[in-house]
Amino acid sequence: MSVLEIRNLHAAVEDREILKGVNLTLRTGEIHALMGPNGSGKSTLAYVIAGHPHYEVTEGDILLDGESILDLEPDERCKKGIFLAFQYPVAVPGVSVANFLRTAVSNVRGYTSQPVDAEGRSGVIGSNLMPMREFRKELNEKMKEFNVDPSFARRYLNDGFSGGEKKRTEVLQMAMLQPKFAILDESDSGLDIDALRVVADGINKLATPDRGFLLITHYQRILNYVKPHYVSIFYDGRIVMTGGPEVAQMLEEKGYSWVEREFGEAVAA
Amino acid sequence: MATHADREALKGVKEDYEYGFHDEIEPVFKTERGLNHDVIDKISDQKNEPQWMREFRHQALDIFFSKPLPTWGADLSGINFDEIVYYVRPTEKQGRSWDEVPESIKRTFDRLGIPEAERKFLAGVGAQYDSEVIYHSLREEWERQGVIFLDMDSGLREHEDIVREYFATVIPAADNKFAALNSAVWSGGSFVYVPKGVHVDIPLQAYFRINAENMGQFERTLIIVEEGASVHYVEGCTAPIYSSNSLHSAVVEIIVKKNARCRYTTIQNWSTDVYNLVTKRAVAYEGATMEWIDGNLGSKVTMKYPAVYMMGPKAHGEILSIAFAGRGQHQDAGGKVIHAAPYTSSKIVSKSISKDGGRASYRGLLRVAKGAHHSKSNVVCDALLLDEHSRSDTYPYIEIEEEQVSVGHEASVSKIGEEQLFYLMSRGIGEDEAAAMIVGGFIEPLVKELPMEYAVEMNRLIQLQMEGTIG
């Protein structure tokens, strides 16, 4: 079992503090939903875990199986098994989904760090990739399993993709990279009901005992399809309440204005 | 894993081989440094040329002397014309020893995975090349079709009538200072003639013919595509060409007759001390199509603007160019399209990448002459800057003398995006490799036009250039 532990995490952008002491422990096999109003800092938490250079951690730590990952570059965090599904995946024109995924998978699975010659050099970047046939076979299987049209392999990454296509491609990437911990940043936002179902199916397929999920969402809707073990309410840069699925139910009934009334004062004080 | 002793032994073998090779060099001829009419006579004597060519060279030299250095483009003040050796017989070029080739170049060959025989040629030390065999069988096929593909010196010897009819008709010696220089001292280059209606299926590659005298500093290429014929000519290669001479000034003239097609692909990767000043121009007659695909990666300074003159109705011209300017490099490149007949169309797509203080300029001319009504042209230039110190400029010249034309021009400059980098890195891809992917994607629309082996090498080269540059 692996553990991702966030301890008293504070983070700032240009001296403005956004995360104000986040504490959260995520174990493999768990699905932990993080719900909160817009602007509460949920996405910042996702970015900070993945290592976005824009945010500065001012206090606290993030530990993966007891070791801090704060000094690691985003690619190194990914290799350790952390995956962020983006709310707004970025387009990379001219780079095909297949080429991108082969490079990513080859890095994460250690192909690229093998020496290319007897002198132990690791060679030109872009060399030492996963063998093409093996990769294609796996990609085709995963595309089928996760409802991504095979034509996507040749399309440029997220370039001209609809919202739903982007989110599905994020799930496909997760399926290929097989992380220990996946942080899903509003993977349900902007989706119609069919697209939501496809994305939720994908998450459920990947929710195996060796994988933990942090499911960041604004709406309760996706929790009709993906059943969380824990639900936390995020407000003004910290977690203000944690419980079981009943917390989401309560939030659905009372709304975020209740959160504000209940915790607004405490936070201000 | 090879032991230390093994490596030492291998090194010994290699050195012995190099020295052995060195011993075989024949007596050679080269002109003294600097340029004067005596030098011209010596070149002409050596080549045993017809009198008209000798006179052409002399006239061109006078024109060269009379023209000032251009001041509107890159800085050319570093060229010392008196220090240059203008003619070296090719056997001497092959006489350099492998040990004299800079380490950086050797390392690049290594990492590009270029076969041993090719490396030596590219570094100017090779005497033999394996694909000579392949080339011979191809040549038989071309000969059967009446296609002529020779080095320019042989072309002049064996097909003087054709050469004399077309030589310097597209680019006269007086066109510009460097065209005049090339006209005076040219040597090597390719001569291609494709007879009426013949389609050459396999790209003609100068690559295959590297034993011949086509890789000079002042090569001259002439391509004639007769009515309804088609050809794709590929010049250069993506591995760095190491040269001990600091000035490369070529002239390429192309004539594309009625309903014919020609595509000319160049990947220039000179070592970074070379001034690369090239004049390339094609005339396209009625219904003809001319395409230039031009990649500029190496050299210290490049000034190159492939041109298409559309002389007949419905002619089409296309120029796709990529420039990569790294530390200390200035790529001043672009294209010219001249619409001289009605219903002609053209497209220019230019992509440039600047990094480590490099400078890439797009310089283009779009001209629609009186009478060229219903012409269409679209120009797109995109620049990608990889850091704060690098520079990109756009100099579009547009001259329209006709109404009823459709002209589009778009230019964009972008920086490599932090969000794109983070996205790729969050998928386990290191920073340099992520940047290389973004750059590769940026030029992909042009790379996919290249023949397969060039596209692969081009991508690898971009990746090499990108190593250790971001951050």
In this prediction the ipTM stands at: 0.95
Report the percentage of chain B scoring pLDDT > 70: 77
Point out the residues of chain A with pLDDT beneath 70.
115-127, 265-269
Work out the burial of residue A49: count CB atoms within 10 Å of its CB; fewer than 13 is exposed, 13-18 middle, 19 or more buried: buried
> Which neighbouring-strand residues pair with B318?
B291, B347
Distance CA B8, CA B5 (A): 5
For the record, the structure tokens of B390 come out as 């690098």
Give the pLDDT confidence score for residue B60 in this predicted structure. Answer: 97
What are the chain A neighbours of B433 within 8 Å (beta carbons)? 103, 107, 125-126
Mean pLDDT of B225-247: 77
Mean pLDDT of B312-338: 94
Rg (CA), chain B: 23
CB contact set of A154 (below 8 Å; sequence gap of 6+): A96, A97, A98
A112, A166, B260 from A158: Cα distances, Å: 24, 6, 39
For the record, the structure tokens of B461 come out as 């080269």
Task: Give yes or no for B144 touching A (CB within 8 A).
Answer: no
Of B191 and B272, which is predicted with more confidence?
B191
The DSSP output letter for B25 is P
Query: Residue A7 — φ and ψ, nearest 5°?
Result: -115, 115
Task: Give yes or no for B112 touching A (CB within 8 A).
Answer: yes
> How close is the nearest chain A Cα to the Cα of B232, in Å?
25
How many C-beta atoms surround the C-beta of residue B471 within 10 A?
9
Give the pLDDT confidence score for residue B102 in this predicted structure. Answer: 63
Task: Give yes or no for A108 touching B (CB within 8 A).
Answer: yes
> Which neighbouring-strand residues pair with B276?
B248, B302
Of A93 and B15, which is predicted with more confidence?
A93
Query: Residue B129 — φ and ψ, nearest 5°?
Result: -145, 130
Mean pLDDT of B370-375: 96
Task: Give yes or no for A104 touching B (CB within 8 A).
Answer: yes
What are the chain B neighbours of A86 within 8 Å (beta carbons)? 423, 426
Work out the burial of residue A12: count CB atoms within 10 Å of its CB; fewer than 13 is exposed, 13-18 middle, 19 or more buried: middle
Rg (CA), chain A: 19
Q: Residue A165: enclosing H or E segment and its boundaries?
A: helix A163-177
pLDDT band with cut points at 50, 70 and 90 for residue B24: very low
pLDDT band with cut points at 50, 70 and 90 for residue B99: low
Side chain identity at B292, as an amino acid letter? W
Distance CA B32, CA B293 (A): 36
Of A54, A79, A90, the CB nearest to B428: A79
Give the pLDDT confidence score for residue B272 in this predicted structure. Answer: 81
CB B73, CB B303: distance < 8 Å: yes
Each residue's pLDDT tens digit, B397-421: 999 999 999 999 888 888 888 899 9
Average pLDDT, chain B: 82
Give the pLDDT confidence score for residue B113 in this predicted structure. Answer: 60
SS (H, E, C) B74-131: CCCCCCCHHHCECCECHHHHCCCCHHHCCHHHHHHHHHHCCCHHHHHHHCCCCCCCCC
Give the pLDDT confidence score for residue B242 in this predicted structure. Answer: 59
CB A218, CB A186: distance < 8 Å: yes
Each residue's pLDDT tens digit, A21-31: 999 999 999 99
Mean pLDDT of B198-205: 85
pLDDT band with cut points at 50, 70 and 90 for residue B14: very low
Task: Give yes or no for B2 touching A (CB within 8 A).
Answer: yes
Distance CA B396, CA B381 (A): 10
User: Which of B180-184, B246-250, B336-340 is the least confident region?
Assistant: B246-250
pLDDT higher than threshold 80 for residue B116: no
pLDDT higher than threshold 50 for residue B4: no
Mean pLDDT of B133-158: 81
Each residue's pLDDT tens digit, A29-50: 999 999 999 889 999 999 999 9
Report the percentage of chain A scoring pLDDT > 70: 93
Give the pLDDT confidence score for residue B411 in this predicted structure. Answer: 87
H helices present in B250-377, as ranges? none
pLDDT band with cut points at 50, 70 and 90 for residue B291: very high
Give the pLDDT confidence score for residue B373 in this predicted structure. Answer: 96
Give the pLDDT confidence score for residue B142 in this predicted structure. Answer: 83
Side chain identity at B298, as an amino acid letter? G
Give the pLDDT confidence score for residue B213 in this predicted structure. Answer: 40
Pairing of strands B148-151, B190-194: antiparallel
> How close is the nearest chain B Cα to the Cα of A62, in Å?
16
pTM, to two decimals: 0.78
CB B194, CB B147: distance < 8 Å: yes
Interface of A with B in 184-243 (CB under 8 A): none
Mean pLDDT of B163-172: 97
* Of B210, B190, B209, the residue nearest B253 (C-alpha): B190
SS3 A35: strand
Q: How many residues does chain B have?
A: 471
